[in-house]
Amino acid sequence: MKSVTSRIVLVLLAVVFLLNACNEPTSIPEKSENPSQTPEASTENDVLYIRGAILHFLEDPAKVDVVQSFQYFENGLLIVKDGKVVEVGPYSALKSKIKGEVIDYSGKLIMPGFIDTHIHFPQVEMMAAYGEQLLEWLDTYTFPTERKYKDKAYSKKMSKFFLDQLLKNGTTSALVFATVHPESAEAFFEESHNRNMRMIAGKVLMDRNAPDYLLDNPEKGYLESKELIEKWHKKGRQLYAVTPRFAPTSTPEQLYKAGELMKEFPDVWMHTHMSENTDEIAWVNELFPDRNGYMDVYHHYGLTGPRSVFAHSIHLTDEEWKLFQETHSAVSHCPTSNLFLGSGFFNLKKADSLGIKVGIGTDVGAGTSLSQFVTLNEGYKIQQLQRNKLSAFKGFYLATLGGARSLELDNYIGNFETGKEADFIVVDFAATDLQEERISHSPNVEDKLFALMMLGDERNVAATYIMGKKLYERPAN
């Protein structure tokens, strides 16, 4: 009798063990030069069952038949364990797996968090600076503002404000410029680490053509960057980008040292600006007469590559498009900034035809919104002016999986594949009377998504989750 009981207990234990094993997220295979997984940062042990309409992307709608590019479950279920995605699918197919309370967002849309591939955290306070194009805008407004970030306490305060604003807008990851001061990057990483957000950031390198108070020098910039890399790169979800501001504010010696950092730390990122404004391009050609154009300056110093991200890249020559292709470098397309500073129109169609990685950047403070909805809205108009159509599917792809791919982070974030980090947002299709009226006429989900892309803003973000933990909830009206 005793042995029968113990056999039953053993069988029950085995069943429980097998059930748990089935729920375990498969870990994402490491990319050879990618960040390690960061279990220390994961605090969520509970299994979450999130119900609602669910949208995520599996491929670029420009590369495959559009219906193959995404999954949309009108009544879906997302299962998350220990901060990672276990499974996603139709509620009817997955409901037998529910073993706890369901968080019910029926009627709302669950999507992967947005990824902002180019933004300056110290520039939030100077958004909407009047009247100038790039070079005058930098001298008149940007440099004096960035001066304040030498103060660590101020940088902390503004990092907090910035990250809270990102969460409010549904942005869960970003590639971020700090200022030249290491204190600014330090403060940013501390705050981002506290929130367990996957962020790439760096201290700016700049040693000429700016006020003295904002200059480092090649050796100082190198040593400060190295110290920050050693402290922060791959700490929790934090990652480092070597960040020369743009070619005009770095001497050849400094660009050389930036290239040395990339060699010494081959798994860090490189983040800069390029070919944003025609006066800027003429200036680069004057400053670097021995180089064959703007991108060749960066290429010459070893700053191109799969983890190199070039904000703007509007006025590219054929050689530069080719360099993007050959080096697998990525573009961050920044629509609101390009319109605000009168910089020009990015050629997305050409980038797609050449297979170049593109993500969306707000480029705040030249950008005029932290919202990816608003940014895509302006991006749509930039494509219209070039007789190209930016569909809602392509837009939301770019703001999620496309962004993750452009940052080489798609093994970790960007969609709801099993094992990915569960950064997701809950979106209201209609946050205003106007939106409600508009979508009541929508014939299908594609039209509803387009209306969201064109009319949406931060009011449409009902909640933001970081690795399965709710960090933002829109206050009730």
Residues that bind ligand GUN (CB under 6 A): 120, 134, 138, 142, 245-246, 273, 276, 337, 363, 366
**Closer by beta carbon to ligand GUN, 88 or else 339:** 339
Query: At its nearest, how many Å lie between Zn ion and the CB of residue 311?
Result: 5
Query: At its nearest, how many Å lie between Zn ion and the CB of residue 364?
Result: 8
Q: What is the DSSP letter of 385?
A: T
Query: At its nearest, how many Å lie between Zn ion and the CB of residue 366?
Result: 6
Query: At its nearest, how many Å lie between ligand GUN and the CB of residue 246?
Result: 4
Distance CA 313, CA 295 (A): 9
**Bridge-based pairing state of the strands 424-427 and 461-466:** antiparallel
Question: Would the CA dihedral through 226, 356, 351, 173 be positive or negative?
Answer: negative
Query: At its nearest, how many Å lie between ligand GUN and the CB of residue 134?
Result: 6
Residues within window 305-324 making contact with Zn ion, judged by CB under 5 A: 311
**Closer by beta carbon to ligand GUN, 184 or else 435:** 184
Distance CA 328, CA 323 (A): 8
Backbone angles phi, psi at 224, to 5 degrees: -65, -40
**Closer by beta carbon to ligand GUN, 172 or else 337:** 337
**Closer by beta carbon to ligand GUN, 138 or else 167:** 138
Query: At its nearest, how many Å lie between Zn ion and the CB of residue 353?
Result: 26
Q: Where are the alpha helices (DSSP H) in 200-242?
A: 218-232
Residues within window 348-367 making contact with Zn ion, judged by CB under 5 A: 363
Query: At its nearest, how many Å lie between ligand GUN and the CB of residue 446?
Result: 32
Contact status, residue 57 vs residue 400, Cβ threshold 8 Å: yes
**Closer by beta carbon to ligand GUN, 366 or else 426:** 366
Q: What is the DSSP letter of 366?
A: T
Angle at 358 between CA 354 and CA 361, to 5 degrees: 155
Q: From ligand GUN, Zn ion, none, which one binds at residue 357 (CB under 5 to 8 Å depending on kind)?
A: none
**Closer by beta carbon to ligand GUN, 77 or else 134:** 134
Contact status, residue 203 vs residue 178, Cβ threshold 8 Å: yes
Q: Would you state the torsion angle of the CA atoms of residues 446, 450, 455, 461, taken in this order, to the nearest 10 degrees?
A: 60
**Closer by beta carbon to Zn ion, 176 or else 311:** 311
Token code pair at residue 424: 């997701």
Quick note: the x/- pattern for Zn ion over 271-310, rule CB under 5 A, is ----------------------------------------
**Closer by beta carbon to ligand GUN, 42 or else 272:** 272
Token code pair at residue 121: 């955290």
**Closer by beta carbon to ligand GUN, 17 or else 213:** 213
Distance CA 101, CA 51 (A): 11
Query: At its nearest, how many Å lie between ligand GUN and the CB of residue 274?
Result: 9
Backbone angles phi, psi at 233, to 5 degrees: -65, 120
Distance CA 157, CA 191 (A): 9
**Closer by beta carbon to ligand GUN, 366 or else 422:** 366
Q: From ligand GUN, Zn ion, none, which one binds at residue 246 (CB under 5 to 8 Å depending on kind)?
A: ligand GUN
Beta-carbon-side half-sphere exposure of residue 208 (alpha carbons within 13 Å)? 11
Task: Tell me the C-alpha to C-alpha distance, in Å, between residue 121 and each of 69, 158, 336, 467.
Answer: 32, 8, 16, 22
The residue type at 186: E
Distance CA 204, CA 409 (A): 22
Distance CA 314, CA 274 (A): 8
Residues 6+ apart with CB under 8 A from 134: 276, 277, 279, 280, 341, 343, 366
Number of residues that bind Zn ion (CB under 5 A): 2
Query: At its nearest, how many Å lie between Zn ion and the CB of residue 352?
Result: 23
Angle at 151 between CA 147 and CA 153, to 5 degrees: 140
Q: From Zn ion, ligand GUN, none, which one binds at residue 138 (CB under 5 to 8 Å depending on kind)?
A: ligand GUN
Under rule CB under 5 A, residue 421 binds Zn ion: no
**Closer by beta carbon to ligand GUN, 136 or else 230:** 136
Q: From ligand GUN, Zn ion, none, which one binds at residue 276 (CB under 5 to 8 Å depending on kind)?
A: ligand GUN
Query: At its nearest, how many Å lie between ligand GUN and the CB of residue 149?
Result: 13
Beta-carbon-side half-sphere exposure of residue 178 (alpha carbons within 13 Å)? 34
Angle at 236 between CA 231 and CA 242, to 5 degrees: 50
Contact status, residue 62 vs residue 394, Cβ threshold 8 Å: yes
Query: At its nearest, how many Å lie between ligand GUN and the CB of residue 450?
Result: 28
Residues in contact with Zn ion by the rule CB under 5 A: 311, 363
